[in-house]
């Protein structure tokens, strides 16, 4: 365990240094030694306000998870008292016996989606704002984390698998059996994938590729939701709430930080070479 923690720390440090290099590598210096931005800003972050708020929100999320981990396992009497007929008609259709294979498969889109924002590093315009985009991604994930952990902390909805007598006992008589609302995996996949689609669309509004990103986000979220439901881990309503929460976090966090027309100068400074090296200033009215 200690070696794993050290490995994670090393990766985090290397990743941070890489972002620093990526974020500042595209800046140019003028004659006074000040940095000149080669592209107009897309987002603006109020660090003095947002950093403390994000830290507090992350701390509250950690607190919620500490309480969630203390949930007591249901007793045999409690499980026997569960009646499928008491479930609303919509969710009643999604009661499945636990499937270990499908449960494990549901982690594939999860692991694919979480690092998706790193794709921005392959784009020259987005790479220059790597630090800014990284913080926005952290904010989006924090919003999702607060909402999910709070809902999970203060509710005790039994997973669909607990209603099936064929589900394994180690899954039924476990504190995690009362963590159905809402679907956390689905929410995180939606946050990561829709966040990636949103920032790409903001940087490249005229690109048709942005619809590929949105379609991919929808497909990853839907696949995760389907498998989490079919594995007996979540009801359909849990999946819908998780997908909606994650998608809104991934889209709205960048949107709220987007610089609106008229809020900043439309000055773009571009370098040029040749016999006379210098800069070209373009001002869009």
Q: Are 68 and 177 in contact (CB under 8 A)?
A: no
Averaged over 23-38, what is the pLDDT? 47
The Cα 213–Cα 207 span in angstroms is 11
pLDDT at position 94 is 84
Task: With a cut of 60, say whether residue 1 has pLDDT above it.
Answer: no
The Cα 48–Cα 179 span in angstroms is 35
Taken as a whole, the chain contains a residue count of 285
The set of residues, in sequence order, having a beta carbon less than 8 Å from that of 148 and lying 6+ positions away, is 182, 184, 187, 242, 245
Q: Are 217 and 103 in contact (CB under 8 A)?
A: no
The neighbouring-strand residues paired with 271 are 279
**Share of residues in the chain with pLDDT > 70 (%):** 78
pLDDT-wise least confident of 46-50, 251-255, 261-265: 261-265
Q: How do residues 102-118 score in pLDDT, each as one tens digit?
A: 999 999 999 999 999 99
The model's confidence at residue 41, banded by pLDDT at 50, 70 and 90, is confident
Is the model more confident about 273 or about 151? 151
Write phi, then psi, for 283 (nearest 5 degrees): -115, 120
The tally of CA atoms less than 13 A away on the side-chain side of residue 36 is 16
Average pLDDT, whole number, for the chain? 84
Q: How do residues 173-193 score in pLDDT, each as one tens digit?
A: 999 999 999 999 999 999 999
Q: Which residue has the tokens 């790193």?
A: 118
The kind and range of the H/E element at 267 are strand 267-272
**Continuous H helices in the chain:** 2-24, 47-68, 76-80, 89-92, 100-105, 107-113, 124-127, 130-154, 169-172, 184-203, 209-230, 236-257
Q: Are 120 and 200 in contact (CB under 8 A)?
A: yes
pLDDT at position 37 is 54
pTM for the model:
0.79
pLDDT at position 39 is 64
The set of residues, in sequence order, having a beta carbon less than 8 Å from that of 128 and lying 6+ positions away, is 22, 23, 25, 26, 27, 37, 38, 39
């Amino acid at each position: 365990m200690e070696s794993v923690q050290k490995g994670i720390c090393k990766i985090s440090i290397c990743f941070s240094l890489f972002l620093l290099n990526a974020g500042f590598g595209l800046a140019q210096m003028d004659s006074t030694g000040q940095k000149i931005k080669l592209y107009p800003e897309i987002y603006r972050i109020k660090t003095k306000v947002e950093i403390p708020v994000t830290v507090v929100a992350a701390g509250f999320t950690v607190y919620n998870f500490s309480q969630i981990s203390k949930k007591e396992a249901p007793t045999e009497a409690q499980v026997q008292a569960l009646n499928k007929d008491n479930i609303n008609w919509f969710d009643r259709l999604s009661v499945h016996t636990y499937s270990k294979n499908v449960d494990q498969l549901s982690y594939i889109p999860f692991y694919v989606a979480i690092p998706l924002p790193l794709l921005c590093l392959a784009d020259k315009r987005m790479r220059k704002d790597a630090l800014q985009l990284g913080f926005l991604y952290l904010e989006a994930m924090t919003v999702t984390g607060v909402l999910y952990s709070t809902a999970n902390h203060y509710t005790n909805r039994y997973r669909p698998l607990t209603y099936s007598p064929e589900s394994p006992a180690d899954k039924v008589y476990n504190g995690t059996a009362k963590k159905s609302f809402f679907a956390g995996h689905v929410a995180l996949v939606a946050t990561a994938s829709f966040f990636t689609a949103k920032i790409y669309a903001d940087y490249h509004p005229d690109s048709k590729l942005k619809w590929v990103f949105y379609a991919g986000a929808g497909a990853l979220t839907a696949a995760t939701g389907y498998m989490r439901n079919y594995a007996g881990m979540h009801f359909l309503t849990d999946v819908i709430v998780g997908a909606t929460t994650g998608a809104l976090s991934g889209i709205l966090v960048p949107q709220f930080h987007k610089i609106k027309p008229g809020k900043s100068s439309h000055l773009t400074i571009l370098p040029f070479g040749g016999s006379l090296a210098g800069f070209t200033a373009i001002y869009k009215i």
